[in-house]
Structure 1
Amino acid sequence: MQNLLLPLRQRLTFRILATTLVGLMLTLSAVGYTLLLSWQLEGGAAAINEAGTMRMRSYKLLSQISLNAPPQALQDELQEFRQTFMLLHKGDPQRPLFLPATPAIQQQLNDVERRWQQEIQRYTEAVLNAQDGSQRQAALSVLRDHIPLFVGNINQLVSAVETELAEKTTWLRLCQTALIFMSLAASVAVLYLLFLWIISPVNRLQQGIALMTQNHLDARVEVDSEDEFGELAKAFNQMADKIQMAQRTLEEKVTEKTAKLRSQNHEISTLYEIGGFLAGPHTIEELSRGFLARIMQRTGADGGTVRILDGDSDNLHLTVHEGISEDITDKEHCMKVNACFCGEATRKGVIVIQDLQALTTPKTYLCKEEGFHGLAVFQITVLDKVIGSFSLHFRDARLLTAEERRLLETLGRNLGAAIENQRLIAKEREYAVSQERNLMAQGLHDSIAQGLNFLNLQVQMLEDSQKRGQFTEVEDIIPLLRAGVQESYEDVRELLLNFRTRLQESDFEAEVQNVLKRFERQTAIQANLEVSGQGAPLGPEQQLQVLFILQEALSNIRKHAQADQVLVSILNERDFMLRVEDNGRGFSAAELAEKGDSHVGLRIMQERAAQMSANLDIQSASGEGTRVILNLMRHERRVA
């Protein structure tokens, strides 16, 4: 870009181009002139040859006349002379052939042509036109006398042309010699200019760079031109100045960077330590207390509080405090958001006061009365929602840096996320307890309720028979009571076993075997297990739900099926399937519809299947047994 700002005459490229063009023009001129001289020499030589042929043809013409050659041959010879003169006058660029255009040579050519016309051509025609032998001999005699004179004129013409061509040859040699010396001079000039314009500046720059690499930061390059290398030398000197200046201030910058890195490391370690603490299993009070203790230690604060906002009532509740007197905590354990700086921060954002004692406001602040000077209050947020604030109190005036403020704002968001996580965990536990209670309520299903109702009815009948003194009826009722109590006991025992079921190290097949063995011991019904497939194991929660559904299906078989054989099939491929089949009495669709929601066992299996996003299909017919089929599709599986 700097090169574009230079004037045209100062640019190195312009000088090189101009020098090249001048040298090229001189060379082309010299070469062109030598070519012109060569062409003229070639044309003159051809003209000499052509003029020389006229001497031979003159004697040939005389010989033909002496030998009485046919007139037509003599006419042809005369025509050749005319064409030769025409060629010498006009020339022939294609051969090339032309006489030098000097006045003496042209005058000599005119003399030769005039002697030809007045003497040679004239007496030749006289010979051809003679009436008798005497006239012919007289004309032939005159022709013999003039032929030598004509040839002498031709010789003079040839000599003049040769003299002119000799001079041109001398000029050609001089020009070629000059061209050689010009080439040598141009080569020397080009080498000198290259050294002056390019090599010398490059050497100076190279020397400057070598000195800079040897830590001689005061090295500079002499600027002796205004071309590109001059600009490059100026740029090099400017760069050297900046490097030298940077070297002088390097220690300060290193110190500054070191301090900045130390501050950043402090921030990172603080975030890592407090973030690790907030990620632990703590109550909200423990989180707040540990958080406050750590940031007070990091910032050197003398006191601090963590307050949680009640969004419904705009009350700010003091959760934990440190370094604050009991008087303040008693008076400010619950206050409105506009009562102090801690509440105002939840609405306005970060509040940092360097010197509380210098404030002149009509409102009374207890932290000011207690002697604190510095105060900083930050929001506790989660997903851009303010859920509280935390404050830092300093005995001395203190102004937090921008980095400290940014760090504390980040920690406020981390604390908010941790508090929100604990609230969600508490809600999840509450939901889990509610769900377990619901399962327990579902576990007290129709068999236990019907058994207790049956026992209650039998007890009433027993009391009535006793009052009436019908001891025979009493003897009939007592076995029924004993059977009802035993059945209720087995139902409660089975329910307790279901609730106590847990997987040990995710050994799902072994747990299924245990359930079937326990079923066989309780009912004396043969139970077989078939497991196939190479799919991945289900997640623990889904395995547990499958076990619960299996236990409920076996419980229904025990109570209602009147079967003597059960087959449990498990197919574990990309999809998972559990099939429980018995050879009992089965039931019709009408019977199932008649019971409706009163058949709690079936509803429990359906609810458990829904919890794991599986499909439960119950197939049965009267006298044909029952099949309970649980299908869990691949996209709903959870990895163990």
Structure 2
Amino acid sequence: MPTSNAPPDPVNQRWLAQALPAFTTLIDRVAHGLEQDLESRIQTLRWVLGTLLLGALLLTLSIILHLQRDFFIPLKVLLRSAQAVQNGQFSARISPQPNNELGEVGNAFNAMVERLSVLYEGLEQRVAEKTRELQHSNHLLQLLYRTATRLTEQDLTQEILLEMLVDVERALDLGPGIVCVRREEDSRAYPLATTLPEIERAALCESLGCSICFGAGRPPTAISEHHVGEIHLVSIPLTGGGQWQGVMPFQILAGNTLQTWQAQILQTLAGHVATALANARRTEERHRLAVYEERAVIARELHDSLAQSLSYLKIQVSLLQTRLEPKATPELQATVEELKTGLNSAYRELRELLTTFRLTPGQTPFTEELTSVVQEARRRCGFDILLEQRMNNLELGANEEIHLMRLIREALINIERHAKATWARVTLEANSLRQVELCIEDNGQGWPATTPSGGHFGLTIMRERAAFLKGVLNFDTRPAGGARITLTFIALTPYAAH
């Protein structure tokens, strides 16, 4: 449009004036429309943003709830269960979980805890079993230790063996036991110690016999079991130190059987007992040798001194009697004769004493030596002297044998010199309680009224020997006539304290 500095056209001015309000109104309408449209769009945008914000909030809340339910809570449960398992509560389990990774972890955890529970229970059982086995082994070791200590640190006595039997019966749950000793040449065994009352023990041995434990041939070498009626018996041979000493039978309680470990313990104990018995025998033999050596020395001294002096006096008295015969008075001859008789008697007693002192140990058993003494007395007396021996394999100590033998010799000498008998009997017996009873009787003239309680030299010797044996010695008269001497004492045996 060309520019001009000419004044406006009045027509245009009027048109412009008329058209301007309408144009302004139109512009206002357009602006108002635009404003309304803009406001409408803004409002719509606000609703959209609000909706989006609310949706975002709801989505966030949903995600949080989902994480809480499906992640954090299961994780806490898993943590608590793991802590419970850590504290040894293997019963802890996780409840069923959603089918996701945590669910698989929970299932794996439950399977792991179940396996651990089984393993732990089995381990507890094995530990408990091993603990019981160790305790049992410890008790058995203590039993073996106590037994070995008893048998080695002290002299072997029947009381120690009895304590050992009681200990074994309690530890191994066994019935009453017996320690029976026997040499191979003996026909019967001697019950050295038992927890059974003597009446029951005697009845049991009488009903079963020694052959059930010892056999009919060679000594047993292995544990053997025997069933006789309601009696179940296990017999353990006592073998130790290369020597067989006897057997140690035990009764098996009703309803029980002999276990392998029991047999092993019994064999070990039997070895200890056999060794102790062998040591006791060797100790007794050494003691016996010492006693006999001492007595042999005394015998030599008596022979070299007193015996020769008595022989010299006998010769002198015989010479005196020969020289006095032509002119001696009857009183003097009687005195010389009495002196000669006394010397002869003293010399004979001394010879018998020397014979007793010179007994050789280990070559002649006591029973055989006693038989020899009775046979010698029978020869001197000229009549029958019966001998009954029922010692039941009881072994006497060396001093006991010597004092008992000397007492029997003295009694037989008295019968020969004073009894005027035609028959005599010597009875020697012992029971399982170690009680020894000796009875010597004859059918002679019996005791003078004051002889047994008076000062007769031979009876005084017998009383002294009975006192050494701690026995009871009695002198009485047989109902059918004649004298009787009885002695009762408790034998120490080689297994009792001296």
> TM-score normalised by the shorter chain: which range applies?
0.3 to 0.5
- The TM-score normalised by the length of structure 2 is 0.37
Q: Which has the larger radius of gyration?
A: 1
Q: Which has the higher contact order (CA 8 A, sep 6+)?
A: 2
- The TM-score normalised by the length of structure 1 is 0.29
